Structure 1
């Protein structure tokens, strides 16, 4: 029989209550945002709940005592990153007071500008729908603007410790919910494409964006990339029943060195891309935009939308975030 309080009107013991709450098995998330000067902020949290599909809403609870509470309540946007079973160390880092939490994770801006941990099990990029005062916490309700997921097993949490979740993925569950991570890989005047086995060509892809410095290609060597020249280039859907695309632009490191490429990978000259053999209109349009921007030496980032999408042009040379932050603070 479950243990109960002796009297309903007796004072609630907060320690005992915390332990009781802790018997509910949850996942583990890292919630992220940016403060007023643009610096990324994040913390580990397991108080996450889906709220609504129409409109798409979720909620997280942020303790008022948290050092990043003000950043979350003021930013107008945040991301929820659900961790997978291999990210116990990430959970610990973001639960700490470390000033360099984001140095150990790969993160990007997808839609709102909040840092998205791209190696996580699932991420949701949200604008703040509302904030509700709730005792010693603020409940943030977010409207989902973009999301991505993967078939990795989730990281569980119960009774103050991490828990394993076995066999989490029913067969076929991810078939229409995946995100393809594609790469525009440059080398000299060429661009790398992969044969689809049916006479067509697609972009090389990765299971998830593991690191800026390399791309593991099935059946061949890991391709070394130039970290300073790896950027998000395009985010779009093809159809409701197909995966969406995150496309990165990258440059092959050590150009001129011999690379062991599988037979289905081939470099095409920038003026000789096989547009007629590209499977979808969206990919063909993206490649034509890429060629125009490469010839002009000025690139943009494309985000899909109902009215045809948005392109934000990038000006200037790339700089490390730490250096840019220091320059802004001077």
Structure 2
């Protein structure tokens, strides 16, 4: 079905045009800023595009009828948060007229002070570069000051509904600056490992960070960890791999007997760790260090370097203490 203009005598049907625009598959973003009172504001938008690499620019279109429109027009900063495939609820929340959209989501500030959602697919923290009036929208052009991404699958949108995007992470996509996050998880003196599918064992890795004490693990499922007893333990590169590794030491927050482990997960006593079946030399060395330090009751942080690395002794883990506000 086509709509043709002849001598400007045929008006465009806005509903039909909207449907035609909607056949273009997009991602889903939540754009955020702060208003004049410093209150976080945000809305769902899918009219997002990259603009330039030098300078680093992007754009998003803001509807002039949106409740948050005055905040975006009056602010010198904003963030674009691309949602992952399991964040339909977040998309619906920021598309609603809820009085406090940020009450049930985790967010932080990174560079500009605009709210950045901490559990999204990718985020771009921007200063406002230009505003362009465009009919019933304003084109908001941002200069990227900081950004981050993850290997999660994106949330898609097409023909007015959410769409699933397959194969989001082709081989070789990750650059050498990306880090793989692994967890050295203890429970009753034993260490959790995961079968790698090739007859070996590896540490559990997570597709995204710990949220509200729940750690989603690769392969499906979640583990409940003690947030106050989760600490950075080791940072290193692995020979033959592009990505570096961040390893956190953590403890289960629930009894072993109440836990249903995902397939391939297994706890090992320190004396029974299958070192010969762990393919990474660096991980084997880290586990041996962990066993020694567990016996002594003191721990250190290892950071890799060309001359053999550095160990910073931190002693026995202590609960977090929140700094008093002046």
The interval holding the TM-score normalised by the smaller chain is 0.5 to 0.7
On the 8 A contact 2:174/2:243 being kept in 1, the answer is no
Which residue of 276, 279, 287 maps to 2:304? 279
Which residue of 284, 305, 324 maps to 1:316? 324
Cα offsets for 1:254-311 (capped at 9, x unmatched):
9xxxx99665763848965264xx3148xx78x85x959x99x999xxxxxxxxxxxx
Distance in 2 between residues matched to 1:132 and 1:280, nearest whole Å: 48
Distance in 2 between residues matched to 1:184 and 1:38, nearest whole Å: 39
State the 1:209 CA deviation.
Answer: 1.5
Alignment-derived partner of residue 306 in structure 1:
none
Distance 1:272 1:21, change over 3 A: closer
Alignment-derived partner of residue 58 in structure 1:
58
Cα offsets for 1:131-170 (capped at 9, x unmatched):
2222222211111122222223222222212222232332
On the 8 A contact 1:212/1:226 being kept in 2, the answer is no
Q: Quick check: which has more Rg, 1 or 2?
A: 2
State the 1:11 CA deviation.
Answer: 3.3
- Counterparts of residues 1-330 of structure 1 (less than 5 Å): 2-5=2-5, 7-176=7-176, 178-181=178-181, 206-215=206-215, 224-225=224-225, 263=273, 266=290, 268=293, 273=300, 275=302, 278-280=303-305, 315-316=323-324
TM-score, length of structure 2 as denominator length:
0.65
Query: What is the aligned length?
Result: 283
Distance 1:298 1:26, change over 3 A: closer
State the 1:122 CA deviation.
Answer: 1.6
State the 1:97 CA deviation.
Answer: 0.5
Q: What is the CA RMSD across the aligned residues, in angstroms?
A: 4.8
Cα offsets for 1:97-128 (capped at 9, x unmatched):
11232233332222222222222222112122
On the 8 A contact 1:149/1:179 being kept in 2, the answer is no
Distance 1:168 1:215, change over 3 A: closer
On the 8 A contact 1:230/1:248 being kept in 2, the answer is no
Distance 1:75 1:244, change over 3 A: farther
Distance in 2 between residues matched to 1:232 and 1:108, nearest whole Å: 19
Distance 1:211 1:19, change over 3 A: same
Distance in 1 between residues matched to 2:314 and 2:12, nearest whole Å: 65
State the 1:16 CA deviation.
Answer: 2.8
Distance in 2 between residues matched to 1:127 and 1:261, nearest whole Å: 47
Displacement over 4 Å in runs of 4+ = 179-185, 216-219, 221-227, 229-233, 241-254, 259-265, 267-272
On the 8 A contact 2:207/2:216 being kept in 1, the answer is no
Distance in 1 between residues matched to 2:153 and 2:133, nearest whole Å: 33
TM-score, length of structure 1 as denominator length:
0.64
Distance 1:209 1:141, change over 3 A: same
